[in-house]
Structure 1
Amino acid sequence: MIFLLLPLSVFIIHSILPTYYHKHFNSNAITDTQQQGILLTFDDGPDEIYTEKLLDLLNKHDIKAIFFVVAKNAKKYPHLIKRMMDEGHEIGLHSLEHKNACLHSYFYTKKDFQQSLDIMNQLNVTCHLYRPPWGHMNLFTYHFMKKHQLKLCLWNVMIQDWKNQSKSLLKERLIKQCHSNSIICLHDSSHDCGADYGAPLNTIGALELAIPQLKIKGLKFISLERSQ
């Protein structure tokens, strides 16, 4: 029995407790906008198929967002990173290759941050925000966040848009769940990060339907610098 309890205890200390603590008790983590407004955030990109379409939609509605990018994807599509910056969006870090921190060591975590930030520096991007894949952290994640002067940004609205669901269903979830200090976590990449193929097209379609209705409800779309 002790041979089972020991690895379980190590996993709880290494992965479960850090994730739980930083989600629920870290007062420095950004978990809502702290004022009246909706903040759109997108994880897992950039993606050659979907990100351009999403940027077109945001530009049409004059909405600024935060893109939490996977560094290896950013390296593949530097023109999309440049467009994000040129159009006034914030770029945050979402890991090197979208691996779950719960399953990795000090040395991989160190490499994850260092190589990611090296790539972003090569793209002339200074990241101030970090969002771990799936929101999972390990015992060393926060140490490297502080070392690289990154602030943890989580979310309080998620509509499971990584699944291939109808845009009308996703729209209804957005309308129902969004409130006056929402940080919405959506996704602009699919199969490379574990989502269903084509799912971001439904996300984009849902946003096209939901944005006017959310504005009618009196909800404003804001950027992070106006929300902090």
Structure 2
Amino acid sequence: MKRRYLMVCTIALTVALASVSEKHLSDDAQTISKVPTTHKVVALTIDDGPNYKATPEILAVLREKHVRATFFVLGQNVERFPDFLAQEVADGHEIGAHTYSHLSLPKLSPQEISEEFDKAEKAILAIAPKPTLFRPPGGFYNTQVIEIARQRGYTVVLWSIDPKDWSCPPTDRVVEKVLTDIKPGSIILLHDGQYPLPTPKALGIIIDRLRERGYEFVTVSELFQYNEVRHSFSLVNGSF
């Protein structure tokens, strides 16, 4: 009985330590998953592309709706489809880094993490300026990942709404999830790294329905400007 108790305690401790060393969508000061604001502004983010079919379809919807999004791109896909990254830039979208090959970063050594950044930046810099936003694959990170990202000049961005469009649910389920969970300052996670996806069709409906509710769409960097907690702190301290 005593041995069984010790085993249970050991397992619990292992799980606890894992949760400390590797985080997934943890809402803390190291990352940003939403912005505290009363303004009805939200950011659309698109991960994992470019893809030869999904990306142009999504770009067409955004162009038709006059909406700018933030694309967190994979370096290996940028190398395969550089013209689509160029089109994202030309259309005024914001570009963020999503590593080179979508590996789980907490499982890598510091050198391997740096190599993921190096290769991703090399691919992006051939077409666009160096990004200032970074999203870890799967939302997984630890202290080491955060520190390396910060040393390279990145703000780590997660999300507050995930309709799991990558799993190819029906379009109406993607739309319903976003409309149900939406709040001012939300960061919405969508994908363009594979085909087919319900995302292009769902995206148009989401934009229309949220506009009917009075929402506006901004890039992630623009969303930061609506941070009322930070703005209030600045005013109290006499800075702007």
Fold equivalence (TM over 0.5): yes
Separation of aligned partners in 2, 1:62 and 1:18: 41
1:9-55 C-alpha deviation (Å, 9 max, x unpaired): 5x975x642443982222x5222134321100011101011101100
Counterpart check, 1:215 vs 2:219: no
Equivalences for residues 32-47 of structure 1 within 5 A: 32-35=34-37, 36=39, 37-47=41-51
Question: Aligned AA for 1:216?
Answer: E
Q: Partner of 1:193 in structure 2? A: none
If the length of structure 2 is used for normalisation, what is the TM-score? 0.81
Runs of 4+ in structure 1 off by over 6 angstroms are none
Separation of aligned partners in 1, 2:19 and 2:122: 29
* Percent identical residues: 24
Separation of aligned partners in 2, 1:170 and 1:24: 23
Could you say what the CA RMSD is over the residues aligned between the two structures, in angstroms? 2.3
3-state DSSP of counterpart to 1:140: helix
1:108-143 C-alpha deviation (Å, 9 max, x unpaired): 112111222122222233110000001101342112
**Deviation at 1:188?**
0.7
3-state DSSP of counterpart to 1:221: strand
3-state DSSP of counterpart to 2:96: strand
**Deviation at 1:189?**
1.4
Q: Which is further off, 161-170 or 82-91?
A: 161-170
For the Cα contact (< 8 Å) 2:71–2:93, is it kept in 1? yes
Counterpart check, 1:24 vs 2:24: no
3-state DSSP of counterpart to 1:157: coil
Q: Partner of 1:189 in structure 2? A: 193
Q: Partner of 1:93 in structure 2? A: 97
Counterpart check, 1:106 vs 2:102: no
**Deviation at 1:107?**
2.1
> Quick check: which has more Rg, 1 or 2?
2
Separation of aligned partners in 2, 1:106 and 1:34: 33
For the Cα contact (< 8 Å) 1:30–1:152, is it kept in 2? yes
Equivalences for residues 38-117 of structure 1 within 5 A: 38-117=42-121
For the Cα contact (< 8 Å) 1:33–1:39, is it kept in 2? no
Separation of aligned partners in 2, 1:54 and 1:112: 26
Query: Which segments of 5 or more consecutive residues in structure 1 lack a partner in the other structure?
Result: 191-196
For the Cα contact (< 8 Å) 2:25–2:33, is it kept in 1? no
For the Cα contact (< 8 Å) 1:41–1:186, is it kept in 2? yes
Q: Partner of 1:224 in structure 2? A: 220
Question: Aligned AA for 2:167?
Answer: K
| 1:88–1:116 Cα change, 3 Å | same
If the length of structure 1 is used for normalisation, what is the TM-score? 0.85
| 1:112–1:16 Cα change, 3 Å | farther
Separation of aligned partners in 2, 1:29 and 1:103: 19
3-state DSSP of counterpart to 2:26: helix
For the Cα contact (< 8 Å) 1:16–1:138, is it kept in 2? no
3-state DSSP of counterpart to 1:81: helix
Question: Aligned AA for 2:166?
Answer: W
For the Cα contact (< 8 Å) 1:179–1:219, is it kept in 2? no
Separation of aligned partners in 1, 2:104 and 2:45: 20
